[in-house]
Structures are given as C-alpha cells and as structure tokens.
C-alpha cells in the first residue's frame, strides 16, 4: 500500500463514490476518507427510480444504496448537501460551497451526470429524471390522474418510464428522432423490434424519426403543447425530457484536468497528479478494447469504484471490465454483456425472438464481443464467463 496516503477525498456520494470507499475498506486502508455529496438524501440507488420507486412498489428506504452500508465500517466523514466548487490540483485541495476546503493525498471525481434539457419553458409539468426527488415528483404527477404523458427520447430511461407510467394508468406517447426501432444501436434490431412491439401491446404510441421542435407551457402549470419536427402537435399533461446527459465536470473548470465528454483518464482510471475518476463521469482508456469508454451503467459504477480504490493504494491494474447493463420494462428483462459496437454478425443461440425468451450473440470478424439475453438471466452467466475469458487477463 502506498504508505504516504493519509487522506482521500471522494467527490460525489453516489454508487461510484461509495464503491471507492467500500474498496478502500476492503483493502484495509486506515487513513481518513471524506465523501462530499451535493444531495441531501440518504444514499440511494438510481435504477429503481424509473421502475420500482416510480411505480410505488418500493418506498425510498427500500432503494437505499447497499454500497453505503458496505462502506460504513470505514467510518468515512460524509458531507451531504455540500457541493465541491473547484479543484486545486497542484495544491491538492478541494474547495467546497460551504466555504470549507479539504486537503487530500488522493482525490476521486465521482460526480456522475446531469440530464440534458431542451430549450424548454419553465413548467412544473416538464420534468427530467435523475434523482429521488425527480422520481417522487414525477410519480405524484402520474399517479391517480391518468394523465397524458409525452416522453421525449426513446432511450432506456424514456422507455422504462413509458412502461411504468402505463402501469400507473397514463396515456403514453414517445417521440424519438432516430428512425427505426428505439435502442436498436444498443440492443440490436431483433430485441429492439420486439421491445417496440411490447410497448405497442401495452398501448404506448412510439413515433420514431421525429423530434420535438418546440414546447409551449405556462410557468403556473397546465397542459404542455408540443410541436414535433414534422409540424404535428401533441398535447400532454406531463412531459418527460429523456434526451441523454452531460457529465458533471463544470466544477473542474480551471483545474487543468483534461475534460472531454467526462474526466479523461488513462487505463488505470487516473487523471494524473493524484486525481482519479469513477462512474458515469469517467472517460477512461479500456485497454482490452483499445478504446476510450464512458459508461452510464450501474454495474460499471460499482466495478470502477472498486478498481480505483485498488489502484489508489498501489495495485496499478488496468480497468478492463466486460461492460454490463440491464433494463426492465413490463415483464421483460433485457441484459447485455459486452458491447454491441461495430458488429458484423449476430446469431440467436437459444430460443427465438418470436418466443418469450432468447439469447443472441454479436461478433466482429468472427470474435463474439457481446451477448444479449431477453428474459434469459439463467443463461447469461455462462455468456459473461466466455466474454471475460475472450478479453484475456
Ligand atoms: C432513473 C435511472 C434508472 C437507471 N436504470 C439503470 C438500469 O436499469 N441499469 C443500469 O445499468 N443503469 C441504470 N442507471 C444508471 C446508473 O444508475 C448510473 O450508472 C449510476 O448511478 C452512476 O453512479 P455514479 O456514482 O457514477 O453517479 P451518480 O449516482 O449520479 O452519483 C454522483 C453524485 O455526485 C453528486 N455531485 C455532482 N456534482 C457534485 C459536486 N460538484 N459536488 C458534490 N457532489 C456532486 C451528484 O449529486 C450525485 O449524487 C439508471 C439511472 C437512472 C437515473
């Protein structure tokens, strides 16, 4: 263990930040650890926010972040409701919004992302979804009202909310500018087509190849009038803007750190000069793929946080995970291991897309690089094992 390390500051008290603390505890780190988090809530997990919390199946306590419990024996100092405002890399110091500053031997940037917004009027009925507060506010608008919901953006978040909102009785329309079945670039055409059909079966109207040209609403509330890129109009009681996100790096301006779609890190997740990054905000060089990645996946936040903790204390192991994400919509669970990128072939290896369950592999030049399971959790462990083996040490 690097013996000169006495004080570690982790900025961002989400999944990645707590995973760093958990990793430091597992490695037997005995120095001082401080977590700085802008949110005031008890630490919680985000995936349930578009699913179980939004539907009402779980209360906020049930969505508690398990990593916070695992990190507890380390006894980190946790500053909640406090924003880091700047980083002095040379001076090894983080400035905080409450006027305090924290000196460190190593600092981890784990500040996540913020939802991208459109040019949109100020209205309580036009929402984004990232935080517990966002989820509970959106739920309050959807529950018991049978509202008309317009979801702008047919990505994972938009489609998960569409599915949950149907369960709450909303009438749901989704618009997505990219033509073709939504998510095809992320899950392949077969699964995307089947998913689009599942939404149609549940009464969700999905319009692809159409963006939103303008939104009109009043600050006091009331219906939102959307004009789409083809000139048609949609009136909605609630609008969810789900058009991607922006890494939270504004506070690093002037620090001298390289920021380009996230904090630019090497293969060890180091941004240089005792600065590290983990989770949604980190753009690191994946040595196994020889490509820079920034992943907004829950499992990555955990794995990268643990890897950063090990590397801070001296392991020097490149972070080369087989990426993994899942999405749950209605009674469908889609899981993807690896990356569906630059694919030149694919094969259904179990079941069939016309059936309730199937497994598909994707390959580049004859090498399988990803596997997708549609309600096939039991079969995916073996697929993952093979992908890890193919990645090599
Ligand atoms: C609704 C929703 C559903 C999701 N569902 C899935 C899913 O089904 N499957 C999946 O794989 N992934 C899913 N994800 C993605 C997953 O939740 C994220 O990848 C994961 O939470 C990232 O963790 P993080 O710690 O990097 O970022 P975050 O969890 O965002 O934590 C970062 C924290 O840093 C704080 N912060 C930001 N700036 C500052 C600052 N300057 N000072 C102090 N604190 C700051 C933020 O307020 C935040 O609390 C979902 C995400 C959302 C929002």
* Distance in angstroms between the alpha carbons of the first and the last residue of the chain: 22
Domain boundary residue, one of 213, 243, 273 = 243
> Dihedral through CA 326, CA 109, CA 4, CA 26, nearest 10?
-20
> CA nearest 372: which of 391, 351, 392?
351
User: How many domains does the chain fold into?
Assistant: 3
Predicted confidence at residue 202, as pLDDT, reads 98
Residue 14 Cα to ligand 1 midpoint, Å, equals: 6
Examine the domain organization and report whether 263 and 224 are in the same domain. no
Q: What's the pLDDT tens digit per position in 108-153?
A: 999 999 999 999 999 999 999 999 999 999 999 999 889 999 999 9
Answer yes or no: is pLDDT of 307 > 60: yes
Residue 323 lies in a domain: no
Residue 195 lies in a domain: yes
Answer yes or no: is pLDDT of 368 > 70: yes
Residue 2 lies in a domain: no
Inter-residue contact 156 to 131 (CB < 8 Å):
no
Whose Cα sits closest to atom 7 in ligand 1?
Answer: 47
Residue 280 Cα to ligand 1 midpoint, Å, equals: 7
Predicted confidence at residue 1, as pLDDT, reads 55
The whole model's pTM is what? Answer: 0.97
Examine the domain organization and report whether 110 and 129 are in the same domain. no
Predicted confidence at residue 92, as pLDDT, reads 98
Pairwise pLDDT comparison (392 vs 270), residue with the higher score: 270
Mean pLDDT of 242-270: 98
Atom number in ligand 1 closest to CA 130: 53
Q: How far apart are CA 231 and CA 106, in angstroms?
A: 53
- Residues with Cβ within 8 Å of residue 316, at least 6 apart in sequence: 268
Predicted confidence at residue 102, as pLDDT, reads 98
Q: How far apart are CA 223 and CA 124, in angstroms?
A: 10
User: Which two three-digit tokens encode residue 8?
Assistant: 């570690």
Inter-residue contact 113 to 247 (CB < 8 Å):
yes
Examine the domain organization and report whether 126 and 217 are in the same domain. yes
Predicted confidence at residue 392, as pLDDT, reads 77
Inter-residue contact 304 to 276 (CB < 8 Å):
no
Answer yes or no: is pLDDT of 3 > 60: no
Angle, CA 93 vertex, CA 92 and CA 94 arms, to 5°: 135
Residue 250 lies in a domain: yes
Examine the domain organization and report whether 217 and 281 are in the same domain. no
Predicted confidence at residue 391, as pLDDT, reads 86
Answer yes or no: is pLDDT of 18 > 60: yes
Q: What's the pLDDT tens digit per position in 196-229?
A: 999 999 999 999 999 999 999 988 889 999 999 9
Residue 114 Cα to ligand 1 midpoint, Å, equals: 9
- Residues with Cβ within 8 Å of residue 218, at least 6 apart in sequence: 121, 123
Residue 318 lies in a domain: no
In this prediction, residue 22 has a pLDDT band, given cuts at 50, 70 and 90, of very high
Any atom of ligand 1 within 6 Å of the Cβ of 335 = no
Q: How far apart are CA 86 and CA 61, in angstroms?
A: 32
Residue 326 lies in a domain: no
CATH code of the domain covering residue 378: 3.30.390.30
Examine the domain organization and report whether 109 and 123 are in the same domain. no
Residue 317 lies in a domain: no
Examine the domain organization and report whether 238 and 129 are in the same domain. yes
Examine the domain organization and report whether 233 and 187 are in the same domain. yes
Residue 324 lies in a domain: no
Examine the domain organization and report whether 94 and 182 are in the same domain. no
Atom number in ligand 1 closest to CA 325: 11
Domain boundary residue, one of 243, 275, 291 = 243
Q: Where are the alpha helices (DSSP H) in the chain?
A: 15-26, 52-55, 66-71, 132-142, 156-167, 184-201, 298-312, 377-391
Domain boundary residue, one of 194, 223, 243 = 243
**Domain limits at 362?**
331-391
Examine the domain organization and report whether 263 and 237 are in the same domain. no
> Dihedral through CA 296, CA 297, CA 301, CA 304, nearest 10?
-90
Atom number in ligand 1 closest to CA 250: 41
Any atom of ligand 1 within 6 Å of the Cβ of 270 = no
Examine the domain organization and report whether 192 and 145 are in the same domain. yes
| Residue entry with tokens 């909310």 | 161
Q: What's the pLDDT tens digit per position in 69-86?
A: 999 999 999 999 999 999
Examine the domain organization and report whether 238 and 137 are in the same domain. yes
Choose one of 14, 151, 327 to mutate for the ligand 1 pocket test, by most ligand atoms within 8 angstroms of C-beta: 14
Inter-residue contact 28 to 110 (CB < 8 Å):
no
User: Which two three-digit tokens encode residue 383?
Assistant: 């697929």
Examine the domain organization and report whether 206 and 258 are in the same domain. no
Percent of the chain exceeding pLDDT 90 equals 96
Q: How far apart are CA 106 and CA 313, in angstroms?
A: 10
Predicted confidence at residue 2, as pLDDT, reads 59
Inter-residue contact 216 to 222 (CB < 8 Å):
no
Residue 12 Cα to ligand 1 midpoint, Å, equals: 9
> CA nearest 160: which of 318, 293, 53, 259?
53
CATH code of the domain covering residue 28: 3.50.50.60
């Amino acid at each position: 263990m690097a013996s000169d390390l006495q004080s570690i500051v982790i900025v961002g008290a989400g999944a990645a930040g707590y995973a760093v603390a958990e990793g430091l505890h597992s490695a037997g780190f005995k120095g001082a650890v401080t977590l700085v988090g802008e949110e005031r809530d008890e630490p919680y997990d985000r995936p349930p926010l578009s699913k179980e919390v939004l539907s009402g199946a779980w209360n906020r306590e049930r969505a508690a972040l398990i990593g916070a419990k695992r990190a507890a024996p380390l006894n980190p100092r946790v500053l909640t409701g406090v924003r880091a405002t700047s980083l002095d890399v040379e001076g090894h110091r983080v400035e905080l919004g409450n006027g305090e500053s924290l000196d460190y031997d190593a600092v981890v940037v784990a500040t996540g992302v913020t939802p991208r917004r459109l040019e949109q009027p100020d209205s309580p009925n036009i929402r984004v979804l990232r935080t517990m507060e966002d989820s509970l506010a959106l739920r309050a608008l959807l529950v018991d009202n049978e509202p008309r919901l317009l979801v702008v953006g047919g990505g994972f978040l938009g489609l998960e909310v569409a599915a949950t909102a149907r369960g709450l009785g909303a009438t749901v329309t989704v618009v997505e500018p990219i033509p073709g079945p939504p998510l095809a670039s992320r899950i392949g055409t077969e699964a995307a087509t089947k998913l689009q059909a599942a939404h149609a079966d549940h009464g969700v109207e999905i319009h692809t190849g159409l963006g939103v040209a303008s939104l009109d609403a009043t600050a006091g509330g009331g219906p939102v009038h959307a004009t789409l890129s083809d000139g048609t109009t949609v009136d909605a009681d609630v609008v969810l803007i789900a058009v991607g996100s922006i890494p939270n790096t504004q506070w690093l301006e002037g620090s001298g750190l390289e920021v380009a779609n996230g904090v630019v890190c090497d293969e060890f997740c180091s941004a240089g000069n005792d600065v590290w990054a983990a989770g949604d905000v980190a753009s690191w060089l994946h040595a196994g793929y020889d490509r820079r990645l920034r992943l907004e996946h829950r499992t990555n936040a955990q794995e990268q946080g643990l890897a950063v903790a090990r590397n801070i204390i001296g392991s020097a192991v490149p972070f080369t995970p087989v990426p993994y994400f899942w999405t749950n919509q209605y009674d469908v669970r889609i899981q993807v291991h690896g990356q569906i990128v630059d694919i030149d072939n694919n094969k259904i290896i179990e079941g069939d897309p016309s059936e309730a369950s199937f497994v598909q592999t994707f390959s580049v030049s004859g090498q399988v690089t990803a596997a997708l399971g549609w309600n096939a959790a039991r079969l995916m462990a073996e697929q993952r094992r093979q992908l890890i083996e193919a990645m090599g040490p």
